[in-house]
């Protein structure tokens, strides 16, 4: 199943009027709602590396460090990271820990069944990805959304999504059942709902 705003809007109109209104506004706004496109399996390692580089630093800092890493390696692949000198890689602006994560993940990458990801379900992919150093559930969910364009992903651990949900639905943090029921009502279009919540927050 692909990301499909028409099908999602039709579903939301039947199951969640608030989300239907938010999506309509996002589609008609000055800043268009961007839908991710699936990457090729050979690009997955680069996505994971970018996620590690970006952790706990600003977007601008992450962009600058990644640019230096690309200058050093050419393309960020398991082979180029494995071949790189540890201190040279670290000198791109990476912390000791992030450099260790990248080196370790490059070495074990062949154990991750990336060629099977297209036929695996979301939870099984998450289980594989969190075996890697520096990859938690949130990062794995972002990978599903933005690298694989999986259609039915919502991240309960994402602060931006949580804040937008509270604001647009007038929910409080202790409304656990209401929140879960709302998120489940978006299925099988949770990813478009997530993108809509982020878009609404940013615009």
By annotation, the residues acting in catalysis are 158
**Cα separations in angstroms, 146 against 44, 48, 174:** 11, 11, 29
Helix pair 44-54, 137-146: axis angle to 10 deg: 130
Catalogue the long-range contacts made by 4-7 (C-beta closer than 8 Å, 24 or more residues apart): 4/151, 4/189, 4/192, 5/33, 5/35, 5/192, 7/189
Which backbone phi and psi does 199 adopt, to 5 degrees? -60, -45
Radius of gyration of the chain (CA): 18
The three-state secondary structure class of 133 is coil
């Amino acid at each position: 199943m692909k990301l499909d705003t028409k099908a999602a809007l039709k579903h939301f109109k039947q199951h969640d009027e608030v989300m239907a209104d938010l999506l309509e506004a996002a589609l008609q706004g000055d800043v268009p709602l961007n839908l991710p496109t699936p990457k090729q399996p050979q690009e997955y390692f680069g996505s994971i590396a970018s996620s590690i580089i970006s952790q706990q630093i600003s977007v601008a800092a992450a962009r600058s460090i990644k640019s230096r890493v690309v200058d050093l390696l050419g393309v960020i692949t398991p082979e180029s990271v494995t071949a790189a000198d540890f201190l040279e890689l670290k000198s791109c602006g990476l912390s000791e820990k992030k450099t260790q994560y990248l080196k370790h993940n490059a070495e074990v990458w062949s154990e991750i069944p990336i060629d099977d990801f297209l036929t695996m379900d979301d939870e099984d992919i998450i289980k594989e990805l969190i075996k890697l150093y520096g990859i938690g559930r949130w990062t794995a969910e972002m990978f599903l959304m933005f690298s694989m364009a999986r259609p039915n992903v919502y991240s309960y651990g994402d602060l931006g999504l949580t804040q937008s949900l509270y604001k647009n639905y007038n929910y409080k943090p202790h409304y656990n059942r209401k929140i879960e029921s709302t998120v489940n009502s978006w299925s099988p279009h949770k990813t478009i709902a997530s993108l809509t919540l982020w878009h609404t927050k940013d615009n």
